[in-house]
Amino acid sequence: MAYHFMKILVASLFILSYAQRQNVTDTNKVDPARPKNFEYLRHLITFDSTSWTYSASFIIDKTGRELTFLRYGVDSARNIYSEVRYSCQDYNSKTFAKTTLKNEIPYIKMLWESLASKVKIDLSVGFIGNPEEYEDVLKTYLDVFAKSTRLTYKFQGELNSGYNTDLYKQTLRRGNIYQPFDSLLKTYGFTISDYYPSEHDFFYSKAFLKQHGYDSTLIIPRDFALKIKTFHQ
């Protein structure tokens, strides 16, 4: 009797172990570049277009995400869309959602691929939000400036006259602040090559820097409309 019980117990443990291995295997087969509820979200996507834009968007849990491709007069001859824009908005606070760019990449990818068959994409510029819209981008952005005392000194002398945009862009290129998006662009044959700063000269306040754990005496530009320049690899 004891012998048969042990056989049943061993068999049961074997089946359980096999099932667990299968579960791990199946989990590993999930595409990490896709949102977990990809199929459900895909059916929520709606499209909108004008003579110069084509958008894909969806709303879930009162958070709206939208990807838009734009074209301009110079694009008409080739019938291409040369600019991409992305936004993630919290409809409760009516402002951008608290998220990371890394977290948004699967959604951007899903929306991009839903539009890929509808428009001819040949990017030269993009706007996916200013650094403050993503926790990881903001940290990278602040870090790259905080680590350079030369930059702090340089911008200190330009508080009233506007900062050196060439030095600013050089710093951004070195920091690759939108790295998760740059990695996605490379899968489509593009890469970030430069940045288009906004024309307004703002700097982070002492209170803001202190709140985010940085030396409040740092002089760091604050850009509300930072665009990226892209080109074919």
pLDDT tens for each residue of 97-126: 889 999 999 999 999 999 999 999 999 999
Place of tokens 């430069």: 194
d(CA 169, CA 188): 24
- Pairwise pLDDT comparison (100 vs 76), residue with the higher score: 100
CA quadruple 213, 219, 225, 226: dihedral sign: negative
- Pairwise pLDDT comparison (25 vs 227), residue with the higher score: 227
Q: Which two tokens stand for residue 84?
A: 């991409």
Beta bridge partners of 190: 232
pLDDT, residue 170, reads 85
User: Given pLDDT bands bounded at 50, 70 and 90, which one contains residue 14?
Assistant: very low
Q: Would the pLDDT of 6 be above 50?
A: no
pLDDT, residue 151, reads 59
To the nearest whole percent, how much of the chain has pLDDT over 70?
78
Place of tokens 């506007």: 162
**Average pLDDT over every residue of 44-59:** 97
**What are the φ/ψ torsions at residue 105 (nearest 5 degrees)?**
-55, -45
Single out the residue of 216, 217, 222 nearest to residue 201, CA to CA.
222
pLDDT, residue 221, reads 85
Mean pLDDT, the chain, integer: 82
- Pairwise pLDDT comparison (216 vs 66), residue with the higher score: 66
Cβ neighbours of residue 114 under 8 Å, at least 6 residues apart?
A: 42, 45, 47, 56
CA 93 to chain CA centroid, nearest Å? 20
Q: Which two tokens stand for residue 53?
A: 């834009």
pLDDT, residue 91, reads 87
pLDDT, residue 197, reads 86
d(CA 135, CA 33): 20
pLDDT, residue 156, reads 55
Q: Which two tokens stand for residue 130?
A: 């200013």
d(CA 31, CA 192): 25
User: Given pLDDT bands bounded at 50, 70 and 90, which one contains residue 220?
Assistant: confident
Cβ neighbours of residue 1 under 8 Å, at least 6 residues apart?
A: none
The model carries a pTM of 0.80
User: Given pLDDT bands bounded at 50, 70 and 90, which one contains residue 198?
Assistant: confident
